[in-house]
Amino acid sequence: MKALISVSDKTGIVEFAKSLHGLGVQLLSTGGTAKLLADQGLPVTEVAEVTQFPEMLDGRVKTLHPKVHGGLLARRDVPAHMAALAEHGIDTIDLLVVNLYPFEATVAKTGCTLADAIENIDIGGPAMVRSAAKNWKDVGVVTAADQYEAVLGELKSSGKLSDKLRFALSVAAFNRIAQYDGAISDYLSSVKFEHEKLSEEYVPERALFGGQSNGHFIKVQDLRYGENSHQQAAWYRDLYPAPGSLATGVQLQGKELSYNNIADADAAWECVKSFDTFAAGGLEQSAACVIVKHANPCGVAIGKDAHEAYAKAFQTDPTSAFGGIIAFNRPVDKAAAEAVSKQFVEVLMAPDFSAEALEIFKSKVNVRLMKIALPAGGATDWDNGRNAIESKRIGSGLLLQTSDNHELKLADLKVVTVKQPTPEELNDLLFAWKVAKFVKSNAIVFCKNGMTMGVGAGQMSRLDSARIASIKAEAAKLSLQNTVVASDAFFPFRDGLDVVVDAGATCVAQPGGSMRDQEVIDAANERGVAMVFTGVRHFRH
């Protein structure tokens, strides 16, 4: 039995090769791997001796030879194949051990140049892996160190690899090659070629979606189960996670994150990231807190610090906040930690935690603390830590869309009523609009002084959402008098407007665009409230 070993990551390879040698396996190898094995006293034949052709072009060409690929690809059960090997003096290779040049690790390094990336694109390795994986019935292909144990186990017990293991190794090998090629494609597609403008017709997928159109991901972890205990689940991240995204977070303490935890944590984090400095009631407030329950914000507020923001957010709906997910856009200090620790919270996220805050949560061993650095900011979606595209699986298909990263500015608002909003109302409208973007449709959000006062989410009727928001406010003992309201889509009839005005709203933001816009505008004028059109809707399903 012959094994060809050529690895870039040499972790555990010496021990593995020694075990193979002890089992009577002949060792072939290349370059640095051959030298390492020889230095350890192992009898190893260099591939150049077999091919009678030297490595050349700085190692770019060394295994691309018929005596390598013939030995890997020949079917042992086809006489003509075996006769061809005999005619040309080619020996079979029964085990291939290859891991590839570290392309992903190279491009992940700060300061990586295009030239660095190009030199770390493996050619011979993937070619050998494909050959061995294709011929899985006769050849075992090992592409990761964590496969060594299983291979040695079968060789020791039966002297050969089982069909089951060889097939599993083949599948893993093709998966690795697909991942590797995807990493190269994604990286090169993100490079701005300075010397020549590339026409978009050569990259049509990216013209619409941009970013990582190949959709290659790396598994972060297997999860205990999915949304329900009878469903299997796992968490994957992009090959190159956007700065400031949930996938870049570090869990400081607590139980393992569940499927639902991760989904809700993402909703909370994406929402809280969208808040910057707001002026509400004449006070500059930059700290924001978002509390999410079952994918919907049930309390959102801004304040002069994390503690005040949390206190206001919690007021919106204390009942729903129980067992919720909480996110801050500012570090959690002692005061905020003491307040949060009084409620049952599943996940707490922030850019950082003070030493006092961490000490407070030490006794809350099940609370999952996540530290996530906020994105540095910039002109692009990638710089802002946002996904460029979103996907949704449907029956035997996939829906893709660009992400809803639209940011509303004061200049975008069009006042359509006789009554004009006050500066305070306009500021609260911008706040309410940010929240509404993260509430499941149909969404109605009452706000005042940088705080949600009532949230109606996920109803089939906008009218029902408006009523539920009022009921939520009443249950929390919050007055909706002189509040503003954001509606994620237009009011199809005046009845929805009447409900929010009856509840106490004095100013309403909605996209506009209904055939009955004028009817709703007339109703607003009749009720003496201000209304602005945003010109954009925020359906969220």
Question: Based on the domain organization, do 170 and 305 belong to the same domain?
Answer: no
Whether 19 maps to a domain, the answer reads yes
pLDDT at position 415 over 70: yes
Share of the chain above pLDDT 70, in %: 90
Rounded to an integer, what distance in angstroms lies between the CA atom of residue 401 and that of residue 112? 31
Name which residue leads in pLDDT, 209 or 515. 515
Domain boundary residue among 153, 173, 190? 190
Q: Which of 2, 10, 134, 334 is catalytic?
A: 134
Question: Based on the domain organization, do 22 and 83 belong to the same domain?
Answer: yes
Q: What is the pLDDT of residues 425-465, one digit of tens each?
A: 999 999 999 999 999 999 999 999 999 999 999 999 999 99
Q: How confident is the model at residue 378 (pLDDT cuts 50, 70, 90)?
A: very low
Question: Based on the domain organization, do 465 and 332 belong to the same domain?
Answer: no
Domain boundary residue among 145, 171, 190? 190
The 10 Å Cβ neighbour count of residue 217 is 16
Please count the structural domains in the chain: 3
Question: Based on the domain organization, do 368 and 423 belong to the same domain?
Answer: no
Q: Measured between alpha carbons, how far is residue 450 from residues 279, 300, 426 in Å?
A: 8, 8, 11
Whether 282 maps to a domain, the answer reads yes
Question: Based on the domain organization, do 45 and 109 belong to the same domain?
Answer: yes
Domain boundary residue among 190, 212, 231? 190
Query: Sign (positive/negative) of CA torsion 255, 260, 261, 262?
Result: positive
Q: How confident is the model at residue 180 (pLDDT cuts 50, 70, 90)?
A: confident
Whether 196 maps to a domain, the answer reads no
Whether 197 maps to a domain, the answer reads no
141 Cβ partners below 8 Å, 6+ apart? Answer: 95, 96, 98, 129, 132, 133, 166, 169, 170, 173
Q: Which of 18, 255, 294, 334 is catalytic?
A: 294
- Weakest-pLDDT range from 282-296, 375-389, 449-463, 478-492: 375-389
DSSP 373: P
Whether 390 maps to a domain, the answer reads no
Reduce the DSSP state of residue 8 to 3 states and report it.
coil
> For position 264, what pLDDT does the model report?
96
Question: Based on the domain organization, do 40 and 170 belong to the same domain?
Answer: yes
Whether 237 maps to a domain, the answer reads no
Number of DSSP helices (H) and strands (E) in the chain, helices first: 20, 23
Q: Give the domain range for residue 82.
A: 2-190
143 Cβ partners below 8 Å, 6+ apart? Answer: 98, 99, 100, 129, 169, 172, 173, 176
Question: Based on the domain organization, do 321 and 467 belong to the same domain?
Answer: no
Q: What is the CATH number of the domain that holds 47?
A: 3.40.50.1380
Question: Based on the domain organization, do 29 and 92 belong to the same domain?
Answer: yes
Question: Based on the domain organization, do 494 and 422 belong to the same domain?
Answer: yes
Question: Based on the domain organization, do 61 and 131 belong to the same domain?
Answer: yes
Query: Sign (positive/negative) of CA torsion 44, 49, 50, 53?
Result: positive
Q: What is the CATH number of the domain that holds 329?
A: 3.40.140.20
Question: Based on the domain organization, do 352 and 414 belong to the same domain?
Answer: no
Whether 267 maps to a domain, the answer reads yes
In the predicted model, what is the mean pLDDT of residues 62-79? 85
Told to judge if 216 belongs to the known catalytic residues of this protein, a careful annotator would answer no
Question: Based on the domain organization, do 92 and 167 belong to the same domain?
Answer: yes
Whether 396 maps to a domain, the answer reads no
**Concatenated DSSP letters for 408-467?**
--GGG-EE-SSSPPPHHHHHHHHHHHHHHTTSPSS-EEEESSSBEEEEE-S-SSHHHHHH
Told to judge if 134 belongs to the known catalytic residues of this protein, a careful annotator would answer yes
